[in-house]
Structure 1
Amino acid sequence: MRRGSEAVAADDPAATAPASPPGSSTSDFTALMRQAQVLGLLRRRYGYYWTRLVGAVAAVAAWVAGFIWLGDSWWQLGMAIVLAVLMTQIAFLGHDAAHRQIFRSAGWNDWASLVLANLLVGISYGWWRAKHNRHHANPNKHGADPDIAPGAIVLTPEPPTNPRGAVLRWLVTHQGWYFFPLTLLEGFSLHWDGIRGVVSRSDVPRRWVEVGLLMVRLGGFAALVFAVLPPGKAALFLTVQIAVFGLYLGCAFAPNHIGMPLVPATLRLDFLRRQVLVSRNITGGRAVSVLMGGLNHQIEHHLFPSIARPHLRTIAPVVAAYCAAQGIPYTQTSLPTAFRDVVRHLNRVGLAGNDPFLCPLVAQRRSIDPR
């Protein structure tokens, strides 16, 4: 991990972080929360978000007008890339609304998320929110975080140690190298999983509203594309748009936790350490913050999920100084270094020869509580 500018391997047994002593599980974070309140960083940023909301709708309208005007042209593949970037930025805005960052009213935030996610992006808000809430409650915790559940990419040391066939063995042990190309399919997966989730689950709030908005977005958009472009070109356009959308989202979300320590199911951590120890910030200033939709401040986002995005950059040095005073590792690194760590972690887990769990924390907790 990285403490300021000093790098320490995430799975290095010598890299230790203190476990909180009995009775202090909430006091550490309470003191940090008070600092955020005193600095006024918990207030809403209505001007910032209304500008972005209106801008998102205007950008979509401008894109549709430009798409129709351009007509049957191979330049439309460039428009597909532009739309993928626009959809990702709108998805970031929907993420903010889902975390109650935009409005004081929970209902207003929910409806903003429904419009942004379902109607503009084409992803089920209700399906995604349930999954994302479980991630925030226990990030990188084995058996509790759905984002590290086994799938096309293995993030925990659960796969068979001896997969059959030379090709399969090579793929498993080198999965880090094809992780980013595989994110080209993430957009297709998000659309499909969202549709399947909202249709099959009766506990999704406003279920049929979500279904209706998804039908308008996905069906209407496909109809527009095939009305303007011939079938072959339209199919290629949709493929490029969804693939780039998935790649962009994957590159924005992968650095947040992949390659950070995994927490065993039996280990209990207080809230502050549970969020900080397994999250990674990305350096690079405002440009990176815009590119990643504020997710470059992943530690602060996990500690204060409802804080407005513009405040994350302001509170980051406060959190870093507080963690240093508490002796808690605060990880931040550049985007290329984070990508390198992601690839190395996935390949190491694919080998299934090392245990990437948070062994230093386990050892230290046992020294405090031998149970």
Structure 2
Amino acid sequence: MSKIRFKNTSNSLFLATTRKRVDAYFREANISRNANVAMWAKTLFFLTGFVGLYVFILSNVVSAGWMLMLSVLLGMFSAFVGFNICHDAIHGSFSSDKRTNRLFSYVFNFIGANPYVWSITHNVVHHTYTNIPGHDEDIEVAPGLIRISEEEPVNRIQRYQHWYAFPLYGLASLSWVFRKDYKKFFQSKIGEQEMNHPRKEYFNLFFYKAVYYFLYIILPLLILDITWWQFLIGFLALHLAEGLTMGLIFQLAHVVEGTDFPTPNPDGNLEEAWAEHQMRTTANFATHSKVAAFFLGGLNRQIEHHLFPNICHIHYGPISKIVKQTAQEFNIPYIENYTFASALKSHFIMLRRFGKEA
């Protein structure tokens, strides 16, 4: 597999102009690119909700039925903590203080995922080789079952993928907890990135996984007044809620109508600059929704996030106007679905196109 190179990587006038205007926005407004008061309020809300739900479930003061409902809510809050806090922290955009970012990135372990592995698969590989089949492993949800590229062979079962894909997304969190992190960690290569881990990351992987298994499996079985099968239902409900929330949000940003899945030429070259590649492979959705802005941690504004991952998502609203205007001036696509429902419909159409209609 050839190493991928972007044409005119250092000469993207679009990116240079956009950066200049965004820099001017922060300079003239005299505000930090990192977390502000609103971001800290969000952080307090989601962490309090996350810890509070976990403690309340383990308190044994509610019935099994209520525990199940609270488990679903805990799963959703786990995803929201990942979206709003850990994602920014691992990108280094939450704070200008590296220790603060490191502290909040460790929270990722307590929602079942390894921050070090994520920093490689997401920060490095996905953000560089977005939507490039065979390189961007973030879009490979279930190889062989879900087809999202013209380059992939078609099989019979994929004719129905637009129906079964959504339940499969619900398994994303379980895969992360028990399989994905281990698999990625011990791969020799992820995308273009060679794997050569520091020794401490071997310890961190197994130690924090053990902590997670203790907190979410062993401890509940020891102290909750429920049967093993009731626990199993609750545990699965938690992860199905978390997985579906994560899976949908990530897919709606890259696998919708209008986004490209480019293939490099035999020499490994892509005939566009990196920033233009990001604009053609990434989409926004529900950008006018205050609910989406609060709960999704800027992931509904993926265009701004991909161009400026070092800026805290709390600022994406204002800078999106700059990015959109600049894209129009340079005749570069700015892909967006105005509502969550329209993005969901568009994703469904893409799944059907790559499956049944292939």
SS in structure 1 of the partner of residue 272 of structure 2: coil
1: CA distance between counterparts of 2:356 and 2:96? 47
Q: TM-score, normalised by structure 1?
A: 0.80
Identity %: 22
Candidates 167, 174, 177, aligned match of 1:188: 174
2: CA distance between counterparts of 1:33 and 1:95? 22
Q: Is residue 246 of structure 1 aligned with residue 246 of structure 2? A: no
Aligned equivalent of 2:301: 297
Q: Do 1:102 and 1:308's aligned partners in 2 also have CA atoms closer than 8 Å? A: yes
1: CA distance between counterparts of 2:310 and 2:354? 33
2: CA distance between counterparts of 1:21 and 1:214? 41
CA 1:61–1:185 in 2, change beyond 3 Å: closer, same or farther?
closer
2: CA distance between counterparts of 1:154 and 1:22? 31
Aligned equivalent of 1:3: none
Aligned equivalent of 1:236: 233
Q: Do 2:67 and 2:234's aligned partners in 1 also have CA atoms closer than 8 Å? A: yes
2: CA distance between counterparts of 1:55 and 1:308? 17
Deviation at 1:342, TM superposition (A): 1.2
Candidates 338, 346, 355, aligned match of 1:350: 355
Q: Do 1:94 and 1:112's aligned partners in 2 also have CA atoms closer than 8 Å? A: yes
Q: Do 1:42 and 1:308's aligned partners in 2 also have CA atoms closer than 8 Å? A: no
Candidates 15, 19, 23, aligned match of 1:33: 19
Q: Do 1:153 and 1:175's aligned partners in 2 also have CA atoms closer than 8 Å? A: yes
Q: Is residue 109 of structure 1 aligned with residue 101 of structure 2? A: yes
Q: TM-score, normalised by structure 2?
A: 0.83
Aligned equivalent of 2:262: 263
Q: Is residue 85 of structure 1 aligned with residue 76 of structure 2? A: yes
Candidates 317, 320, 337, aligned match of 1:316: 320
**Which 5+ residue runs of structure 2 have no aligned equivalent?**
1-5, 188-194
Aligned equivalent of 1:100: 92
Candidates 283, 287, 290, aligned match of 1:286: 290
Deviations 1:168-208 (A, max 9, x none): x2x31221222112112111111123442476468345311
Candidates 99, 113, 123, aligned match of 2:113: 123
Aligned equivalent of 1:154: 147
Q: Do 1:198 and 1:211's aligned partners in 2 also have CA atoms closer than 8 Å? A: no
Instruction: Select the structure of larger CA radius of gyration.
Output: 1
Aligned equivalent of 1:216: 211
SS in structure 2 of the partner of residue 281 of structure 1: strand
Q: Which amino acid aligns with 1:262?
A: F
Deviation at 1:215, TM superposition (A): 1.2
Q: Which amino acid aligns with 2:326?
A: Y
Candidates 336, 341, 347, aligned match of 2:341: 336
1: CA distance between counterparts of 2:144 and 2:346? 20
SS in structure 2 of the partner of residue 134 of structure 1: helix
Deviation at 1:58, TM superposition (A): 2.8
Deviation at 1:148, TM superposition (A): 3.5
1: CA distance between counterparts of 2:148 and 2:356? 11
**Which 5+ residue runs of structure 1 have no aligned equivalent?**
1-19, 164-168, 354-371
CA 1:21–1:271 in 2, change beyond 3 Å: closer, same or farther?
closer
Q: Which amino acid aligns with 2:342?
A: T
Q: Do 2:91 and 2:119's aligned partners in 1 also have CA atoms closer than 8 Å? A: no
2: CA distance between counterparts of 1:216 and 1:320? 44
SS in structure 2 of the partner of residue 156 of structure 1: coil
2: CA distance between counterparts of 1:192 and 1:65? 23
Deviation at 1:348, TM superposition (A): 1.5
Q: Which amino acid aligns with 2:245?
A: Y
2: CA distance between counterparts of 1:48 and 1:224? 35
Aligned equivalent of 2:190: none
Q: Which moved more, 1:81-90 or 1:267-276?
A: 267-276
- Across the aligned residues of Structure 1 and Structure 2, the Cα RMSD in angstroms comes to 2.5
Q: Is residue 138 of structure 1 aligned with residue 148 of structure 2? A: no
2: CA distance between counterparts of 1:210 and 1:255? 29
Q: Do 1:80 and 1:240's aligned partners in 2 also have CA atoms closer than 8 Å? A: yes
Aligned equivalent of 2:191: none
2: CA distance between counterparts of 1:247 and 1:21? 36
